[in-house]
A and B are shown apart, each in its own frame.
Chain A
Amino acid sequence: MKPPRFDYHDPETVPEVVGLLKTLPNARMLAGGQSLMPMLNMRLALPDHLVDLNRVEGLAYIRETGGALEIGAMTRQRDIEFSQLVLERCPVMHEAILQVGHRQTRNRGTLGGSLCQLDPSAELVAVAAALEATIAVAGPKGTREIPFSGFPKTYMTPAIGPDELLTRVRFPLWPRPHGWAFVEFARRHGDFAVVSAAALLEEDRGKIKRASVTLGGVAAAPVRMKEVEKALVGQTASDALFRDACEACRKIEAMQDVHAPASYRQHLAAVLSRRALERAHARIGAAKMSS
């Protein structure tokens, strides 16, 4: 549980970070350290250089602009949890972040760190997929944007170069009122979800106009259930509709690990996506009644 030797770098600007990444071989960036520090201590990560992002200016903010929420990569999960803007404009993210680890880990953990770690069960990764977020990365040639659908490259590996860093995430907002829910099943409070489900619904005159259903923890990256979404749009919401549509989730090719076999994850996928849709739909009703 002692990390191997590495050189530590402490840059203060994004260009400095990019410069370091361009020249240093085998470097890793340190954000909140909630995954990297244990990986270093267990010698599962063996970098020669550690580039600490904690003093880099201008990477922590939450703002609304052009119909989207923009959040800086180094924004602490705890700040997202307490953001009034997030609560009002993107409640699904608020509900998700309450299920990210524990208060202590959220104090340190960052949005960018979670997305780059890309754990298949991470709540914020599922939210990014559900909202079709756009990821901004800075590199030697400037900044480029990646739609989230193209962000996961392989298991726990984002599609960004070794000399690039994630700087900002843009989450398009859903109109008011919309239905939303983030539900998960974990063995214990604060654990990574065995399976999580995010649902967003927009309804118009009793019919579902738009739907987003995302499953985390089932496959290597979050799965958008287009088949379920398609089955919902144009229909009148009902428990039977949700139940039948969500049966499609049992067909996903699922992972297995020490906590659960693939068949159980498929089962949970159907259960939790249904529950998320039911809750999202109920919230549209509640929003209408209160408005």
Chain B
Amino acid sequence: MGFVGRSVTRLEDAPMLTGRGRYAADVSFSRELHMRVVRSSHAHARIVAIDAGAARELPGCVAVWTSEDVAEIPPIDFRSTRVQGLEPHRQPVLARDRVRYVGEPVAVVFAEDPYLAEDAADLVTMEVEELPVVLSADRGTEAAVIRKGYGDIEAAFRAAHTVVDLDLSIGRHSGVPLETRGAIARYDAMRDALELHGATKRPHANRDLLARMLAREPGSIHLYEGHVGGGFGVRGEIYPEDVLVCAAALRLGRPVKWIEDRRENLMACNHSREQRHRVRAAVDAQGRILGIDDEFFHDQGAYVRTHGARVADLTAGMLPGPYRVPTYRAVGHYRLTNKTPAATYRAPGRYEATFVCERLLDAIAAKTGIDRVEVRRRNLIAKTEMPYARDLDVIDTEVVLDSGDYAGLLDQALARADWAALQSELEQRRAAGEAVGVGLAFFLEKSGLGPVDVARVSMAADGTFDVVTGAASLGQGVETVLAQIAADALGVDYRRVRVAHGCTDRIEQGYGSHASRTTVMTGSAVHIAATKLRENMQPGCSAQGSFESEHMTYPYGVHIAVVNVDRDTGGVAVERYLAAFDVGRAVNPRLVEGQIEGGVVQGLGGALLEEFVYDAEGSPLSVTFADYAMPTACEAPGIAVLLTEDAPSPLNPLGIKGAGEGGVNPVGAVIASAIDDALGVAGAVTRLPVTPPRLVEIMRAERR
């Protein structure tokens, strides 16, 4: 019996559970200096002068840099989704002439210990001339417009039996890993090698980007990944601090360590999600969609970071979801504001797009009087239509839905939730005065982003196996899953397989871990390499595997949630939650369930609790965990997971689809739908997060 498909115990847990983990802050080198960033306290201002004199004189302070000291370092470039018009808005590593958000790095201090570094940073003063602040994408500078679509949208609306239109907003929130960012650089003159520790997500791509910025050969830079306390998209991109520690290690000749504190993390690490959509759908008399027309406003914050236009691109490319949408138009206004720069957060663009798409489906149901499940059934793409090509691209790939039995999963989820009985139970409770309701949201995910991945498998003298990959591990169980895949191909026990990841000096090529790609892409490469090795399995032998993929693979799911609204306080309690998700094939079902459960809780944060709030001057108000309210275990409902494997992907040897983002994707949509149902008001929720004050306002407006 093989290991793939079994919930075997994780290989990577022992050091973490016994307190011997090595996170970024645990990495230390002798003679290291500590870096502290001086950040702008102005949302938009012209820099008149920066006075670092007092800081430089502080004993123990070794250097203070401002933009003049790093004039040769170019702004941080894009690694993906390059779109015309964005280049002028890339972020310099230290602000030049102007500051554009509170938290922007203005200067850096290097000192003998972290206490002195903060003392010195406090002595740096800045004279500025305040400039007008823009805090809404309704007005911000338009850096680019993302346009996607197909078909004659105007004709669809002319032919419509019914048109629904909505104005929907998703709040600014983001992934907030419990381990903050950290970067430790040192330069080894003997090898002419620059090392950066604390890397993750995309070590090889980040090495290449650093090489270009620091004008070095990529082969002379090595990135190392230790344990990582969560990534969620925000961790492991190149930020100003990563470049600065590297430049300082080279210039000052000593190792340089920077560990982000939580206050910095909440104002300097990537934000995400903030969009407003003005969307309409044309439907025929039977509730079938004829066209969707979406104009949206993407609040990018002050600069364009490494992802370029990726989030807006994904939003526009994924919005039609699992439905047959004959005509489609999306116009995304990519706008800059004086807030923290935004980029990808787990299910980027899809959390937003699914909220919009499913709000539309609920609105269609309400306006046509057709049951909301039936409306979805009529519009879902059928199993017989697979593979289903859409005349649409997303992040530079054509959208071809590879496989799926959407209606089949909907049936299974409804059966598991006992939908009919649930409806009558909730009706009775509502009749008794409770504001309880159930929400349902279907969603389409995407995973397995190409173009390629590689792995090397070798047999050691003691009969164990080394799998060397360019993947990264953000805590999700990469080592275990890749070992399971290798073990089955080799015909050995998975505990005899060691998996290397995250280190650029172990393997020439690597594509990291992001976009729910690792199990699909790296897993397939490992499978191919291990299969090859098995043909000649002897100590000392090794085999290389390479896996290419032009198209992404598309998992899909349904979430159902029961909520109880306190009509007096506006508080929302999530009583029950079901997440149904088809991943083609689950290598380790328990780990997939863990991914889903964690994602659901994050999704509830964005739906009910989390929001980066700014005051009128652009000062961030959510800079501690008291004010940025992430859900805790106490707020997490019991989550039932219905994991199915009905539609294996035809695109890879194991039939795998990625499972990292199906937990979070539809949560905003399903909670909005459940609150509508609890209040008995279709379309009541138009904005996330649904905070208690907002919900009290919604109920008050309804009574008027």
A contact set with B: CB distance below 8 Å: 1-5, 38, 42-43, 185, 187-192, 194, 257-261, 263-264, 267-268, 271-272, 275
Contacts and interface: CB of A to CB of B under 8 A. Distances in A.
Given A1-B263, A2-B115, A189 B634 contact: yes
B629 interface: yes
Contacts of A191: 626, 629
The 9 closest A-B pairs by CB, nearest first: A189-B634, A1-B261, A264-B693, A258-B621, A271-B568, A2-B115, A2-B118, A187-B629, A258-B627
Given A1-B262, A2-B115, A264-B693, A188 B635 contact: yes
Given A258-B613, A260-B692, 18 more contacts: A1-B263, A2-B118, A3-B115, A4-B119, A42-B263, A185-B571, A187-B629, A187-B692, A188-B629, A189-B632, A191-B629, A194-B692, A257-B621, A259-B691, A261-B693, A264-B693, A264-B696, A267-B696
A43 B118 contact: yes
Contact of B627 (A3, A43, A259): A259
Contacts of B696: 264, 267
B122 interface: yes
B41 interface: no
A188 B621 contact: no
Q: Contact residue range for chain B?
A: 20 to 34
B325 to A, nearest CB: 38
A41 to B, nearest CB: 8
B693 A260 contact: yes
B598 interface: no
A1 B261 CA distance: 6
Nearest to A194: B692
B629 A2 contact: no
Contacts of A263: 693
Nearest to B694: A264
Contacts of B622: 258
Nearest to B632: A188
Interface of B: 114-115, 117-119, 122, 261-263, 568-571, 609, 613, 621-622, 624, 626-627, 629, 631-632, 634-635, 691-693, 696
Contacts of A268: 569
Contacts of A5: 115, 119
A185 B692 contact: yes
Contacts, number: 62
A41 B413 CA distance: 49
Given A264-B693, A268-B569, A188 B634 contact: yes
A189 B635 contact: yes
B241 to A, nearest CB: 15
A275 B629 CA distance: 25
Contact of B122 (A43, A258, A267): A43
Contacts of A187: 609, 629, 692
B624 to A, nearest CB: 8
A2 B122 contact: no
Contact of B634 (A38, A190, A192): A190
Counting chain B CB atoms within 10 Å of each CB, the highest count among A191, A259, A272 belongs to A259
B597 to A, nearest CB: 18
A263 B694 CA distance: 11
Contact of B631 (A43, A188, A190): A188
18 contacts: A4-B119, A4-B122, A38-B624, A42-B624, A185-B692, A188-B632, A189-B635, A194-B692, A258-B621, A258-B622, A258-B627, A260-B692, A260-B693, A264-B570, A267-B696, A271-B568, A271-B569, A272-B569
Contacts of B117: 2
Counting chain A CB atoms within 10 Å of each CB, the highest count among B122, B568, B621 belongs to B568
A194 B115 CA distance: 35
Counting chain B CB atoms within 10 Å of each CB, the highest count among A42, A192, A272 belongs to A42
Contacts of A42: 263, 624
Contacts of A190: 632, 634
Contacts of A257: 621
A108 B627 CA distance: 22
A261 B635 CA distance: 23
B567 to A, nearest CB: 10
Contacts of A259: 627, 629, 691
A259 B693 CA distance: 8
Contacts of B621: 257-258
A2 B114 CA distance: 7
B614 to A, nearest CB: 10
Nearest to A275: B568
A258 B622 CA distance: 7
Contacts of A185: 569, 571, 692
B664 to A, nearest CB: 19
Contacts of B631: 188
A259 B611 CA distance: 10
A229 B258 CA distance: 57
A134 to B, nearest CB: 31
Given A1-B263, A261-B693, A267-B696, A192 B626 contact: yes
Counting chain B CB atoms within 10 Å of each CB, the highest count among A5, A191, A261, A275 belongs to A191
Nearest to A265: B693
A280 B696 CA distance: 26
